Amino acid sequence: MMDPLTNRIRRYWPLALPLAIAGCGVVPDRDGPPLFLPCPNDAPNAVPRVEPKSRYGNPSSYVVRGKRYYVSPTSRGYVKRGLASWYGRAFHGNPTSSREPYDMCAMTAAHRSLPLPTYVRVTNLENNRWAIVRVNDRGPFYPNRIIDLSYAAALKLRLARKGTAFVEVRAIDPSGFARASGPIDATPEKAERLADSTPRETRPAKDAETAKPASSQEPLRESSGEGDLYLQVGAFANRTSAERLKTRLRASVEGDVRIDAMQDDGRTLYKVQVGPFHDPAHADRIGEELARIGFDKLHVRFEPSRQRTPIAAGSSDEL
């Protein structure tokens, strides 16, 4: 039988198809929504409950196409923003990494590093719609995506037609839900309180995601249509190094490149970013182009429009 993780890789690495299908002899159909019976547009949220870790899908680390990913020992304190995508009928009924059958109409998701299972609240930062899903699979393996949603979850967040959207993923402490009374979907405010019941601790040392998470205190925007989505390629304490990278990027990829000078823990950082992008799908394409030329550790940034005051240059080496 095909390893469940290999089964998920088929979606992202078509060149690996001959190897991936060798164990099952079945080539998945082109991905998309259900062909016949539709999933509900507003499926009920997954209800968090305390569960043991899955017997499958939780190695200390694993390798996909030469890149090693580390599985976090805990989901405690996890908050991150980035692009979300979804997967559908091509995988419906196939085993996930936890060896549970994938149900495209269930509120589930795939994540590269969170332990299986983990419950997370996903907020679409483009329209402030939110959903609670159960992470039971591995992926996505595109460089600048952080979560792959089931089709039902994508419908609930209103990103199915678009394909991708900028989201915030926040881990949930299931014990907080067990203590809570009343329906999970009562109000967004209640869901916010319960999601925040996860203690804010230091992120796991071996998280596959190396980007520093955006502050949880940053206010949500009603829309990302103001062009405030950026792909961050590097951060330097030396402006000269940032300028060199900026020059290289301008010669290599399509799109504007900026240097964003900001204070971080008392240090001046010069962040080299490509953007802004009005369309997450466009950012996704540029992210793939950057990965092809060696920039595969991208940080996605979503920022409110505001004026910034230039900051004097620092003097230390690249961070």
**How many helices and strands (H and E) does the chain possess?**
7, 12
Highest mean pLDDT, choosing among 14-23, 113-122, 140-149, 233-242: 113-122
CA distances (Å), origin 55, targets 3, 23, 46, 98:
14, 21, 21, 7
Q: Are 272 and 257 in contact (CB under 8 A)?
A: yes
Q: What is the spatial distance between Cα 202 and Cα 206, in angstroms, rounded to a whole number?
A: 11
Question: Is the same domain home to 257 and 184?
Answer: no
Burial 88-122 (b: 16+ CB within 10 A, else e): bbbbbebbbbbbbebbbbbbbbbbbbbbbbbbbbb
Q: Please, which residues bridge with residue 309 across strands?
A: none
pLDDT over 70 at 63, yes or no: yes
Same domain, 58 and 157: yes
Tens of pLDDT along 268-288?
999 999 988 877 778 878 888
Name the pLDDT band for 311 (thresholds 50, 70, 90): very low
Q: Which domain holds residue 277?
A: 229-302
Check residue 289 and give its pLDDT: 85
**Is 49 in contact with 174 (CB distance < 8 Å)?**
yes
Q: Residue 318 has what DSSP assignment?
A: B
How far is the C-alpha of 112 from the C-alpha of 227, rounded, in Å? Answer: 28
Q: Show Cβ contacts of residue 227 under 8 Å, excluding neighbours closer than 6 positions.
A: 275, 276, 277, 278
Residues 159, 285, single domain; the answer is: no
pLDDT for the residue numbered 195: 54
Nearest to 234 by CA among 143, 318, 141, 144: 318
The whole-number pLDDT of residue 52 equals 95
C-alpha distances out from residue 42 to 74, 87, 88, 137, 185, Å: 29, 17, 16, 22, 11
| Structural domain count, the chain | 2
Task: Report the CATH number at residue 38.
Answer: 2.40.40.10
Contact assessment for residue 267 and residue 314, using Cβ atoms and an 8 Å cutoff: yes
pLDDT at position 219, please?
A: 34
Average pLDDT of the chain is: 75
Residue 8 lies in a domain: no
Within-domain flag for 99: yes
What's this model's pTM, rounded to 2 decimal places? 0.62
pLDDT digits (tens, 9 = 90+) for 230-253: 889 999 999 999 999 999 998 888
**132, 119 Cβ separation under 8 angstroms:** yes
Q: Are residues 187 and 268 in the same domain?
A: no
Instruction: Examine the domain organization and report whether 251 and 113 are in the same domain.
Output: no
> Which 8-state DSSP code applies to residue 134?
E
Locate tokens 């920022």: which residue? 303
User: What is the percentage of the chain residues whose pLDDT exceeds 70?
Assistant: 68
Longest CA pairwise span in the chain (Å): 61
Q: Is residue 49 part of a domain?
A: yes
Range in 14-23, 58-67, 203-212, 234-243 the model is least confident about: 14-23
Q: What is the CATH number of the domain that holds 250?
A: 3.30.70.1070
DSSP state of 184: T
Per-residue pLDDT, averaged over 91-102, amounts to 93
Q: What is the predicted pLDDT for the residue at 252?
A: 87
Return the structure tokens found at 89.
Answer: 């009928």
Amino acid found at 80: K
Specify whether the CB–CB gap between 127 and 155 falls below 8 A: no
Q: SS3 of 105, please?
A: coil
| 318, part of any domain | no
